[in-house]
Amino acid sequence: NAGVTQTPKFQVLKTGQSMTLQCAQDMNHNSMYWYRQDPGMGLRLIYYSASEGTTDKGEVPNGYNVSRLNKREFSLRLESAAPSQTSVYFCASSGQGASQPQHFGDGTRLSIL
Amino acid sequence: KNQVEQSPQSLIILEGKNCTLQCNYTVSPFSNLRWYKQDTGRGPVSLTIMTFSENTKSNGRYTATLDADTKQSSLHITASQLSDSASYICVVSALSGYALNFGKGTSLLVTP
């Protein structure tokens, strides 16, 4: 049982390059999330998808776009990477209900030079 | 502004000892409080989730308590093991919306 799978695990980009981070879950969850984690800060929500075909902005959406390709997959795109987007990116999914736990992938470590 | 504050920032304990981590929050209206464990280089893993009506919940050697009146929670780890070395994150959910409010975490190191 893989849970939430993120690819790639590591990536180095140059300023201005574009990139798509991939996320897939095999738990049949409706809700999926993208977070970023920076040193000394709590996780911050970038985008959220309540179900296939719907997406909503989170706390820090600027510079990012998302696509909920189907129920399993939720991708995050950086159109023109900036050094401020250097971070660890986590994808998560959860089932229906406010008290359902979020299941996280192991993250993509992204450095932008 | 909804906030979640954790203390201490970091903690070192000897293997076999107990410890307690603290979480204070100002999130309102309150829905639930979660504790996650995050190993280095891994994603967070859920330990417990407590709603307003629950004041204690256990998961093996981990016991979380919640005082919704004072807006405080604690995570008690019993008979610590080396594998307990990790960051422990307190997360509070509000009734409105889907967003979770994450604390910055307490970094725990268990030494032999």
Q: Give residue-wise pLDDT tens across range A62-75.
A: 999 999 989 999 99
Give residue A60's pLDDT.
95
Contact A107 B43 (CB under 8 A): yes
From B4, B89, B93, residue closest to A98, measured CB to CB: B93
Give residue A1's pLDDT.
62
Distance (Å, whole) CA A8 – CA B33: 31
Could you say which DSSP state residue B95 is in?
S
Q: CB–CB of A112/A21 below 8 Å?
A: no
pLDDT at B63 over 80: yes
From B32, B98, B104, residue closest to A99, measured CB to CB: B32
pLDDT at A16 over 70: yes
Distance (Å, whole) CA A90 – CA A93: 10
Give residue B97's pLDDT.
65
What is the pLDDT of chain B when averaged over all its residues? Answer: 94
Q: Which residue has the tokens 């993208």?
A: A34
